[in-house]
Structure 1
Amino acid sequence: MPPPPPLEELQEEVLLRFPRHEPALLVRAALVCKPWLRLICGPGFRRRFREPHRTPPMLGFVGNIVPSLSGILTDADRPYSCFVPTTAAAFRSPGADLLLCRALDARHGRVLLNCHRRGGGGGVPLPRLQGQGYIVWIAAVLCGRCHHLDCHRGPFLVVYMAYRAPGELIICTYSSDAGTWSDPISTEQPTRHVDMTPSVLVGNALYFGCLASKSLVKYDLESHEMSVDPLPFTYRSWRPVVLDNGLGLATVHESKLCMWKKAGPEVDAGWTENRVIELEALLPSYAFLTPPDVVGFADGIDVIFLMADSVLYTIDTKTYEVKKVFEGKRINCVIPYMSFFIPGTALHGFWFYNNVINEQ
């Protein structure tokens, strides 16, 4: 009869089975005794804990608050981003509310912010582009690795997309390894205004939504090529999402949450209606005092953020479970923060400073 495994191995096997979406349980376990603290904080445990789970939990989200339209603005009325935990066990740092900051993206354990204020160093500088000013821009962040299990300290990329009138889109990328921006690539976009939404990552391509022109912009991370995919829709607002590991769209139309899926990766591939969810059966009647909007999407866990009046809900598109996660202020964009959190690791955010706005 083989000897039983060492006690430490048995303890590790138990700890590895803790639920990924309740990080406080591991924190409490690490406080039981010094041997457990060393075990949980070790790099081997962190790696083994992430491997079976693969998809990180959503610890919270960063919301961009819509400023008040009143005549005199106080600090509470100015635009800012706030971090909201989505589980009772999640953390919230004292500096989670960031005045004059706009959340742009969050992916692979990082948060990308645009801060409209003077000073501030250590961030990623805006690219220096030739020609006249760019009217609107958005950016995405992602790591430079392939397994995305422990990306916090590794290299990262920032993909910057901007629109310049009368009809030009440009994209360039920043590498933390090189510390420089790539040469920009451009394409025509026949519209006089583009309102861009945060990107989604499908395979090796980033997709940015251009609301006003009703089109999607695809950027291939391997070939570094850009293409524009017009949409056959006339909806007032929509968001790019990921459906069944493929590119999709989500919008609210006549009190219904409508989701469309692209038939293939090709630019001319068709779109099919993938799912329709009756919101009147899920939300209270007062939620329809103003038209609800899709304001965010959490990839990997199939959760859509819906702003209805001044209340923010999450809707699980698989189970139809609805949760109220925020109220009192109107949010026009939600950036989910998804990451493993284990004692002994740090949560990192990378700041994206807009020097042009800072100098105004």
Structure 2
Amino acid sequence: MAPPPSPQPPELMEELVEEILLHFPPHEPALLVRAALVCKHWCRLISGPGFRRRFRELHRTPPMLGFHYRGISDDGRNVGRFVPTAAFRSPRAESRSWRALGARHGRNVGRFVPTAAFRSPRAAESRSWRALDARHGRVLLRCPGEPFGTDIVLAVWDPITDEKRKLPLLPRNRSRWGAAILCSAAGACDHLDCHRGPFLVVFVGSNLGGTCICTYSSDAAAWSQAISTPGTGDCVDPLMRSALIGNALYFGLVKKTKALRYDLESREMSWVQLPPTYHNFELRVLTTTEDDGLGLVTAHSNKIYMWSRKAGPPNTGWTQDRVIELERLLPIDAVLASPDVVGFAEGIGVVFVTANNVLFTIDLKTCKVKKVCEGRGIRGVVPYMSFYTPALGAACTAEGPSAGGSSA
């Protein structure tokens, strides 16, 4: 006589299941997908708006799902690429219709490289666009192939939904320019899930004769009148990504001795002195510090130097907070190639360092180093930070695994 079947284990209470799922790491959204495919009940729980809201509120800091960089292809062309850092696969992953900010001359090619199993939509895989900035769940793109003297074409892209919004043309009236994107809800938003809300694009154009700034509001669907100031003998550096500190944006300048500060409320420009470094040709990255101040990261002689500046008048001094010895962290061939700092991920304290055609990330809290990709001439790293809870409608209709429900 066969023994009686073993009793089914008792089901976990719904509150306990939700509490466990809420503590899944946000930088690996594929784990939530796998959990959702266990059964219909879990799928409905994870797909619900209440769970997604509590998930964001618990973790607070959006994870890095990927980053975009520009480099040089084997045939010498300027290329852009997006690298995923998380287990996320968005729609139309293999398309190639957009690209990240690359060089000003020659043919431009764009790719999006995720930093884990994140695969970007067609907007990042295209060969005709490039990324200037990313903030609050959006990426600012530009068309790099237009001839000098023609209009500037910008677009705002949401990698989660693959929605793209092209902005009105801007006349190219300055030889060098940069741009930034941010949520326009200001203090009324916690920026945990505002990628579908109103946004602001700030455009800065400069030459030796002067600097002008104009802004695009998604609410008004138009560019503002430009404000101008006389030249200071310096220009905006397109390789230095802007930093948002409080209610002001900071843009790096070519000579690397100052940064341009733009107050979003008063619409006034001012200049901030940067700390001295060893050579003016060193790459520098503007950052935000842990106490929400302005920071600067640069590399010299196999060391990373980190600076911070307290809020105050333009001549407020800088403090050198930390020096990181790269000889203890990077492979010997990378150390011999004189590493450069090429990017910074706000909120999570990750620095991007390139050496010997290899790009590394360094976690400033743990000093953990990770090789993320290879490529020639890597510059202009633009991290993409956002929460991502995949849409799983198809998988919620049946018990058990369903391949159609996963976007990872």
Gap change, CA 1:194 and 1:108, over 3 Å in 2: closer
- Give the equivalent residue in structure 1 for 2:216: 174
1:14 Cα deviation from its structure 2 partner: 2.4
1:121-159 Cα distance to aligned partner (Å, 9 max, x none)? 940123358xxx210111111112320111121111111
The amino acid across from 2:248 in the alignment is A
Name the CA distance, whole Å, in 2 between partners of 1:104 and 1:75: 14
- Give the equivalent residue in structure 1 for 2:191: 148
Indicate yes or no: 2:84 matched with 1:84.
Answer: no
C-alpha RMSD over aligned residues: 2.6
1:302-358 Cα distance to aligned partner (Å, 9 max, x none)? 11101112000111122211111111333111000111000229xxxxxxxxxxxxx
Quick one: which of 109, 114, 119 aligns to 2:142?
114
Higher relative contact order structure (alpha carbons within 8 Å, sequence separation ≥ 6): 1
- Give the equivalent residue in structure 1 for 2:390: 343
Indicate yes or no: 2:359 matched with 1:312.
Answer: yes
Q: Determine if contact 1:204/1:222 at 8 Å carries over to the other structure.
A: yes
Indicate yes or no: 2:218 matched with 1:195.
Answer: no
The amino acid across from 1:147 in the alignment is D
1:220-262 Cα distance to aligned partner (Å, 9 max, x none)? 2222222111324243221111222211111111211111111
Gap change, CA 1:126 and 1:295, over 3 Å in 2: farther
Gap change, CA 1:168 and 1:331, over 3 Å in 2: same
Gap change, CA 1:293 and 1:74, over 3 Å in 2: closer
Name the CA distance, whole Å, in 2 between partners of 1:11 and 1:27: 15
1:99 Cα deviation from its structure 2 partner: 1.6
Name the CA distance, whole Å, in 2 between partners of 1:92 and 1:176: 24
- Give the equivalent residue in structure 2 for 1:57: 63
Name the CA distance, whole Å, in 1 between partners of 2:226 and 2:233: 20
Name the CA distance, whole Å, in 1 between partners of 2:242 and 2:78: 32
Indicate yes or no: 2:126 matched with 1:98.
Answer: yes
Identity of aligned residues (%): 53
With normalisation by structure 1, the TM-score equals 0.84
Aligned residues: 333
1:274 Cα deviation from its structure 2 partner: 1.0
The amino acid across from 2:340 in the alignment is D
The amino acid across from 1:188 in the alignment is P
- Tell me, what secondary structure is at the counterpart of 2:376? coil
Indicate yes or no: 2:373 matched with 1:326.
Answer: yes
Counterpart mapping for 1:2-13 below 5 A: 7-13=13-19
Gaps of 5+ in 2: 1-11, 81-105, 147-152, 156-163, 393-408
- Give the equivalent residue in structure 2 for 1:270: 317
- Give the equivalent residue in structure 1 for 2:34: 28
- Give the equivalent residue in structure 1 for 2:284: 238
- Tell me, what secondary structure is at the counterpart of 1:39? helix
Name the CA distance, whole Å, in 1 between partners of 2:50 and 2:349: 30
1:29 Cα deviation from its structure 2 partner: 1.9
With normalisation by structure 2, the TM-score equals 0.75
Q: Determine if contact 2:71/2:79 at 8 Å carries over to the other structure.
A: no
- Give the equivalent residue in structure 2 for 1:157: 200
Gaps of 5+ in 1: 1-5, 346-360
- Tell me, what secondary structure is at the counterpart of 1:198? coil
1:289 Cα deviation from its structure 2 partner: 4.4
Counterpart mapping for 1:125-136 below 5 A: 125-128=168-171, 133-136=173-176
Q: Select the structure of larger CA radius of gyration.
A: 2
- Give the equivalent residue in structure 2 for 1:351: none
The amino acid across from 2:348 in the alignment is I
Name the CA distance, whole Å, in 2 between partners of 1:173 and 1:47: 31
Name the CA distance, whole Å, in 1 between partners of 2:355 and 2:75: 19
